[in-house]
Copies of this chain bind each other. A is one copy, B any other.
Amino acid sequence: MSQLLIVGTVAFDAIETPFGKSDKILGGAATFIGLAASQFDINSAIVSIVGGDFPKEYLSLLERRNIDTTGIEIVEDGKTFFWHGRYHNDMNSRDTLVTELNVLADFNPIVPASHKNSEIVVLGNLHPQVQISVLEQMETKPKMAILDTMNFWMDNTPEDLNRVIGMVNAITINDAEARQLTGEYSLLVAARKIQQMGPEYVVIKKGEHGALLFHEDEIFYAPALPLEEVFDPTGAGDTFAGGFAGYLACTRDIEFNNIKNAVIYGSALASFSVEKFGTQRMLDLKPQELRERLEQFKQLTQFEIELT
């Protein structure tokens, strides 16, 4: 049994940034989530779909990291989902040049029987009906179902989106999307509204400004590490979600204090992810590097004020 089940895209990305451009490389939300989660000593599984053009060595690469790929359907005569994007100079905004859904257009997720009791489920950004289908296939209600989504689904499938939001324990969403979803400018008020829609835990991602975690009346703020340069932001949000989920799957503790730690782990892994193109940095990351970066996060945030 996997401790962590991930549904999301496994894809090809082609990326252009002010620093250079990549060929068609390994990408997709589930890939980034899985590779980040694989930094922890856990078994995970991906449910996704690819075409016959998807290299077998990419699947082996995931398998070597204890990520079960039997839930990745291979459509031999189909083509893998492809995204081509270009980042602007500030690296905070981007244009999508090409989106080819290909096999993703008819994705009907099948959760393998061996993974229907996973304790943690991550629903990567996808059509909300696909996300709902995965939750409905679970035999045991997950201890923690984590939803990622984007503005596209708010615009196009708001009812389905609201339904899946009502089914999960946690949501990760960026600041602009939280504002769009709720019509509230204050992120505090927006988070309170999203909590009322279902999720006990709301994580609002603010890119270079860090992430906010809301739970009941509590708030926790994880900064982003100030970086000399961001090389490629692709997958940073998914890497955050993967680190968050992987840490929870590994520690099996979903108390608020441990979820704070999960946000810090997610932020630390995301800070690595942007240092190289695509998944490269997650693939070559060493445990000692992660420990050192967590130490930096402590230095960055911890202070001693004695209150009387």
**A contact set with B: CB distance below 8 Å:** 89-90, 185-189, 191, 206, 209-210, 212, 218-221, 223, 226-229, 257, 260-261, 264-265, 291, 294-295, 298-305, 307-308
Contact = CB atoms under 8 A, between A and B. Distances in A.
Interface of A is mostly: mixed
Contacts of A185: 89-90
A215 to B, nearest CB: 11
A305 B301 contact: no
17 contacts: A89-B185, A186-B227, A188-B228, A206-B209, A209-B209, A210-B221, A210-B223, A219-B300, A221-B300, A221-B301, A223-B223, A257-B303, A257-B304, A261-B304, A264-B303, A264-B305, A265-B305
Contacts of A219: 226, 299-300
A174 to B, nearest CB: 14
A301 B301 contact: yes
A304 B303 CA distance: 13
Contact of A226 (B187, B223, B264, B299): B187
B226 A186 contact: yes
A260 B300 CA distance: 10
B303 A291 contact: no
Nearest to A225: B219
Given A209-B209, A210-B223, A186 B303 contact: no
Given A186-B228, A186-B229, A226-B186, A220 B261 contact: no
Given A219-B226, A226-B186, A261 B209 contact: no
A125 to B, nearest CB: 24
B305 A298 contact: yes
A189 B229 CA distance: 9
Contacts of A291: 307-308
Contacts of A298: 305, 307
Which of A219, A303, A307 gathers most chain B CB within 10 Å?
A303
A209 B208 CA distance: 10
A188 B227 contact: yes
A223 B267 CA distance: 15
